[in-house]
Amino acid sequence: KNVGNNDAYIRIRVMIPADLDTTVLNSSMYTSSAMDKEFTMAYDKSGTVERNSVKYNVYTFTRNDPLAPGEMTYWNVWGTIHMDTTVTSAQSEALFGKNGPYPNGVFPVLVEADAIQAEGFTDATAAFAAFDKQ
């Protein structure tokens, strides 16, 4: 929800552990209704980011239009996380077993969101280019 006083561009980054993404997890997990209604999605191909010694793949969702004060974005850009149908028992045990990095199937998924005042920018791309230079 935009709690500010000005229209704002919104960007949401969903980060999935790189060692799980696409090889173990199904890579088409984002919510199509969010894509149809408000957002564009881009996979960051520049490499992984690291948070607390874990490397993550980053999916960036950018809202197409400015969000007015008091309005809320579509609430769910990421739907569910699915295990790929080709994952073997050995792969699952190595990752999610008692001695794996994600025991009992618990793993971090990080969400970071940014907002920038829309005034003075032609679109969200220009706004976040300026935001990222800060």
Q: How far apart are CA 79 and CA 81, in angstroms?
A: 7
How many Å apart are CA 77 and CA 21, to the nearest integer?
A: 17
Q: What local confidence, expressed as pLDDT, does residue 44 receive?
A: 74
The pLDDT score that the predictor gives to residue 19 is 86
Averaged pLDDT for residues 9-29: 79
pLDDT band at 29 (very low <50, low <70, confident <90, very high): low
Please answer whether residues 12 and 61 qualify as being in contact, where contact means their C-beta atoms are separated by less than 8 angstroms: yes
What is this structure's pTM?
Answer: 0.81
49 by DSSP, 3-state: which? strand
**Where does residue 15 rank: exposed (0-12), middle (13-18), buried (19+ CB within 10 A)?**
buried
Average of pLDDT values for 69-87?
Answer: 81
